[in-house]
Chains A and B, each alone.
Chain A
Amino acid sequence: MKNILPELRAERGWTQVDLAGRLGVSRQTIIAIETGRYDPSLPLAFAIGELFKRPVESIFSRDKNPRK
């Protein structure tokens, strides 16, 4: 999955640690999602959507060349 988390985070001036704190996850989890190493669970994806006040599908999209 591709995502625009770094852009959304940058718009708000949040660091990865800030975002992790707001979502109640570790910094490693944010790094792994942003780099496409990990696709979040549905509850976490919806929590991200709610935090940025955007539909989940506007944040995450299918990656046609996924990381192996």
Chain B
Amino acid sequence: MDAAERKQLFFLWMRQFGCWFLAYLLGYAGALWALLSLPPGAARTALVIAPILPGLGLIWSTVAAYRRADEFVQREILMAAAQAALFTAVWTLAYAFLEPLGLPHLNMGLVHTFGWPVFIWRMVQLMRLRG
């Protein structure tokens, strides 16, 4: 695989990832709306569980990109995933203690949107690496 093909695959992944992330946010908004506005039933259940699919899409596209990447990019993807996981862990740990003090109860699905921006930020940094 030459550098042009790798670049093409990287941008393909960014596009795929962007589409799945947008779908996840839309699905999440739809799920919240259904939860608050619709009466219990099949439509409500379907809308509430809908974000699972784009959530899995995000993970699938990242794993596929990892498998295609070379050794340095693989290391950077792993480090980005570790930083995203650590950020999510610290945030959720802190919030678990802040919530009993009066902060609003948050849906667990929202946790998914905390780590991904950290991951995306690291990937954009990688893409813009200059030497």
Q: Are A29 and B72 in contact (CB under 8 A)?
A: yes
Chain B residues with a Cβ closer than 8 Å to the other chain, count: 19
User: Considering the chains assembled together, what is the distance between the CA atoms of A44 and B29 in angstroms?
Assistant: 46
**Are A28's CB and B71's CB within 8 A?**
no
Contacts of A29 on B, CB cut-off 8 Å? 70-73
Bits for B1-45, please: 1 = Cβ < 8 Å to A, else 0. Answer: 111101100100000000000000000000000000000000000
Instruction: List chain A residues, Cβ under 8 A from B71.
Output: 25, 29, 40-41, 44
Chain B proximity mask over A5-39: 1 for CB below 8 Å, otherwise 0: 00000000000111011001111111111110010
Pairwise interchain contact B6-A32, C-beta atoms closer than 8 A: no
CA of A28 to CA of B71, assembled, Å:
11
A39 to chain B, nearest CB (A): 10
The minimal Cβ–Cβ distance linking B92 to chain A, given in whole angstroms, is 30
Task: Mark contacts of B118-131 with chain A using CB atoms, 8 A cut-off: 1 yes-contact digit, 0 otherwise.
Answer: 00000000110111
How far does the alpha carbon of A48 sit from the alpha carbon of B75 in the complex, in Å? 19
B72→A20 contact, CB < 8 A:
no
Whether A26 contacts B7 in the complex (CB less than 8 A), given A31-B130, A31-B131, A35-B131, comes out as yes
Please state if B131 and A24 are interface contacts (CB–CB under 8 Å).
no
* Residues of B contacting A34 in the complex (Cβ-Cβ under 8 angstroms): 131
Partner of A20, one of B6, B69, B75, B129: B6
**How many Å lie between the Cα of A38 and that of B39 in the bound state?**
56
Residues of B within 8 Å of A35, CB to CB, are 131
Q: A-facing mask of B66-83, CB < 8 A → 1, else 0?
A: 000111110110000000
Interface contacts beyond A24-B1, A28-B76, A30-B131: sample of 7 additional A-B pairs, CB < 8 Å, sorted by A:
A18-B3, A20-B3, A26-B7, A26-B69, A27-B3, A35-B131, A44-B71
12 contacts between A and B (CB under 8 A): A21-B2, A21-B3, A25-B3, A25-B6, A25-B71, A26-B10, A26-B73, A28-B126, A29-B71, A30-B131, A31-B130, A40-B72
